[in-house]
Structure formats: C-alpha cells, structure tokens
Amino acid sequence: MAPKILLANSDTIGGPKIRKLLTDSGYLTDTVESLEDVKDRLSTDEFLAVVLDLDSVKVENRTMRDMVRKYPGTPFLCTSRYRFHPELEDAISHHIFACITKPVDPDELLFWLKCIRDDHNGA
C-alpha cells in the first residue's frame, strides 16, 4: 500500500500543486485546512508525514510541540514563502523535520519524504 501524507494547506493554488506532486509520485494524500483538522486526522489514522503550509495554516510553538510529542512517529515538514519565522523558532529548531521554501522544489520535497521512508524502513 502506498504511504499516506497528510497535507495541511488552505492555499487554493499551492495546495493542489503539492497534492498533485505527491499523488503523481505514488503517495496517497489527505488534505485538511486547519491544525484542528490535523489533530483529528492524526488521532484516527497513520501518516508517513504531515506537510504543513505555514503561510495558510496558523501554527504556534506550543501547538507544534504538543502535536509532535503526542504523535512522535509522524514527522512534520513545513512549507513557507519566508525563510525565517522568529515566532516559530522553538518549533523549527526542535520539532519540525524540515522546512521547505516556496515555491516548493519537487526534488527537495521528494528527497525529504524519501529520507522519512528510509528511516521508517530502517535503511
């Protein structure tokens, strides 16, 4: 069965592009538009990773820390137009697997997902 990715993105242009990239690359994707939806989905299903758009989904350090602690087997990748998020310094330093600058480079996103898959498979 293909690995599932949870895409947290309410950007009506960028979100569908990332979803298409993921599905074209063999991943199953579910899309949600808020952190509450992320929490609900993680509590009922397993995902290889969460790809979280920091530009369209509101995130706080505490919320990220709590989610990563509650779901330690699910890495969080983030996307953003901005290179720096001082308000998320703790989350980015300690709880987020990788941050990818938009526009998302397909090779970079797929590289990080391959790293996560290899890690899950013990490679």
Residues contacting residue 91 through CB under 8 Å, at least 6 positions apart: 59, 60, 61, 64, 65
Q: What is the pLDDT of residue 108?
A: 96
pLDDT beyond 70 at 123: no
Q: What is the pLDDT of residue 84?
A: 62
Q: What is the mean pLDDT of residues 62-77?
A: 89
Q: What is the pLDDT of residue 64?
A: 81
Pairwise CA distance, residues 95 & 104, whole Å: 20
Q: What is the mean pLDDT of residues 91-101?
A: 76
Is the pTM higher than 0.85? yes
Domains and CATH numbers, the chain: 4-121 (3.40.50.2300)
Are 18 and 112 within 8 A, CB to CB? no
Listed in order, strand segments (DSSP E) in 15-122 are: 28-32, 49-53, 76-80, 98-101
Question: pLDDT (tens digit, 9 = 90+) per residue, 10-57?
Answer: 998 889 999 999 999 999 999 999 999 999 999 999 999 999 998 888
Question: pLDDT (tens digit, 9 = 90+) per residue, 75-92?
Answer: 999 998 877 665 666 566
